[in-house]
């Protein structure tokens, strides 16, 4: 067999034509949070809107500067709490007063004070489950792969470095422009990430 034939028999992306790697975004590393916040302001003034910052610990000013909408977690927790409350109370009433009522000295079947502890616990339980799994879902976790992990410097994001990225999804994004803009910011290093 000639080399050409071998190549043709190889399994692979035969249906696709090979593409140039698409950029995911342009990322830059900063040494402190003030520089990062200033850089966010500059980037937004420049007209970029789809940007994301990475910090080693939560900094309220950062997500305020980026202009993320308020978190949806509180609404989810409220919904969970209401579901848990109704569910727990209904469980008590249905089992004790509807499905299997036991007459004990003529006491009421719907003895609501006795149902409060269980109702309270189920309220907290379901609200808590919504808080945790809601937070994970809103953050898109679990997500084993993400383009930022390809940049070796990114491990410092969990130590003491701050990162800012302009995503390629941004309507104003053009790789070379974004890269030269980011490099001009007071960052230590900038890079183009591939998808």
Partner 1 sequence: MSALPERPPVIAPGHTPATVTDKISAVVLERTPRWWYLGFAVSFALLMVFTYSVTVLFVKGIGVWGINIPVAWGFDIINFVWWIGIGHAGTLISAILLLLRQQWRTSINRFAEAMTLFAVACAGMYPILHLGRPWLAYWLLPYPNTMAVWPNFRSPLIWDVFAVSTYATISALYWYVGLLPDLATLRDRARHTVSQHIYGMLAMGWRGSARHWQNYETASLLLAGLATPLVLSVHTVVSFDFAVGIVPGWHATIFPPYFVAGAIYAGFAMVMTLAIPLRIVFGLQDFITMRHLQNMAKVMLATGLIVAYGYFMEAFIAWYSGNPAEWFMITNRALGPYRWHWYALIFCNVIAPQILWIKRVRDSVPMLFVISLVVSVGMWLERFIIIVTSLHRDFLPSSWDMYEGSRWDWGTFIGTFGLFLTLFFLFIRFLPSISIFEMRTIAKPETTAAEAK
Angle at which helices 73-93 and 112-138 cross, to 10°: 150
Compare residues 47 and 58 and give the one whose CB is closer to partner 1. Answer: 58
Asked if residue 178 lies in contact with residue 166, where contact means CB atoms within 8 angstroms, the answer is yes
Instruction: State which residue, 11 or 105, has the beta carbon closest to partner 1.
Output: 105
CB neighbour class for 126 (10 Å; exposed up to 12, middle 13-18, buried from 19)? buried
Binding region for partner 1 (CB under 8 A): 32-33, 52-60, 62-63, 66, 68, 71-74, 77, 88, 91-92, 95-96, 99-100, 111, 114-115, 117-118, 120-122, 124-125, 127-129, 131-132, 134-136, 138-139, 141-146, 148-149, 155, 157-160
Name the minimum Å distance from CB 178 to partner 1.
18
CB of 63 to partner 1, least distance (A): 4
Nearer to partner 1, 47 or 108 (CB): 108
Measure the CA–CA gap between 81 and 63, rounded to whole angstroms.
Answer: 27
Q: Based on CB atoms, which residue is closest to partner 1, 7 or 61?
A: 61
Please report how close the Cβ of residue 195 comes to partner 1 at its closest, in angstroms: 15
Bridge partners of 190, per DSSP, are 28
The per-residue DSSP string of 92-160 comes to HHIIIIIIS---STT--S--HHHHHHHHHHHHHHHHHHHHHHHHHHHTT---S--GGGGSGGGGGGGTT
For the bound state, the minimum distance from the C-beta of residue 170 to partner 1, rounded and expressed in Å, comes to: 15
């Amino acid at each position: 067999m000639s080399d050409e034939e071998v190549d043709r028999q190889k399994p692979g992306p035969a249906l696709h034509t090979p593409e140039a790697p698409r950029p995911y975004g342009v990322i830059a590393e900063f040494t402190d949070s003030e520089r990062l916040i200033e850089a966010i302001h500059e980037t937004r003034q420049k007209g970029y809107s789809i940007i994301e910052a990475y910090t080693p610990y939560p900094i309220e000013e950062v997500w305020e500067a980026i202009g993320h909408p308020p978190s949806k977690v509180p609404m989810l927790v409220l919904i969970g709490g209401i579901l848990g409350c109704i569910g727990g109370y209904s469980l008590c009433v249905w089992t004790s007063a509807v499905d299997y009522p036991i007459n004990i000295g003529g006491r009421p079947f719907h003895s609501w004070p006795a149902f409060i502890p269980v109702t309270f616990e189920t309220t907290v339980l379901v609200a808590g489950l919504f808080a945790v799994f809601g937070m994970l879902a809103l953050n898109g976790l679990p997500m084993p792969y993400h383009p930022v992990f390809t940049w070796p410097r990114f491990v410092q994001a969990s130590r003491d470095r701050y990162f800012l990225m302009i995503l390629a999804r941004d309507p104003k994004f053009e790789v070379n422009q974004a890269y030269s803009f980011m490099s001009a910011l007071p960052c230590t290093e900038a890079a183009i990430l591939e998808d």
